[in-house]
Amino acid sequence: AQSVTQLGSHVSVSEGALVLLRCNYSSSVPPYLFWYVQYPNQGLQLLLKYTSAATLVKGINGFEAEFKKSETSFHLTKPSAHMSDAAEYFCAVSDPGNTPLVFGKGTRLSVIA
């Protein structure tokens, strides 16, 4: 069964600093991997996804993530944090057999002016 581990329930960065949110997965087959963002009192918005094409995936709002099979990781990065990036970020995994998405516990990102 798939599972996702997000290291750090809360990450705080200064405005303009690098954002790094960590995600490690466990899957018996090459997975599909996703990052979702949840702004306060809103639903889940897809940021980016990995589906076995390019290992470096670019998403919306300047975010990107790199699939590293050897490390079973799919960390989310952004070179320069903006105040509007403050939100909850969820990593999710699914196998290509159409099993439901399994989410990590989420990481709350705070951006300090």
Partner 1 sequence: EPEVTQTPSHQVTQMGQEVILRCVPISNHLYFYWYRQILGQKVEFLVSFYNNEISEKSEIFDDQFSVERPDGSNFTLKIRSTKLEDSAMYFCASSEPKVLYGYTFGSGTRLTVV
Q: Which residues contact 54 (CB under 8 A, 6 or more apart)?
A: none
Residue of the chain from 20, 46, 60, 83 that contacts partner 1 (CB under 8 A): 46
Beta bridge partners of 58: 64
* 81 vs 107 by CB, closer to partner 1: 107
27 forms part of the interface with partner 1 (CB under 8 A): no
Instruction: Report d(CA 70, CA 83) in Å as an integer.
Output: 33
* 79 vs 96 by CB, closer to partner 1: 96
Residue of the chain from 44, 62, 66, 72 that contacts partner 1 (CB under 8 A): 44
Residue of the chain from 5, 17, 22, 49 that contacts partner 1 (CB under 8 A): 49
Locate the DSSP E strands across the chain. Answer: 3-5, 10-14, 19-21, 24-26, 32-38, 44-50, 56-58, 64-68, 73-78, 87-94, 102-103, 107-112
Range in contact with partner 1 (rule: CB under 8 A) among 16-24, 41-49, 64-72, 74-82: 41-49
Range in contact with partner 1 (rule: CB under 8 A) among 11-19, 22-30, 66-74, 92-100: 92-100
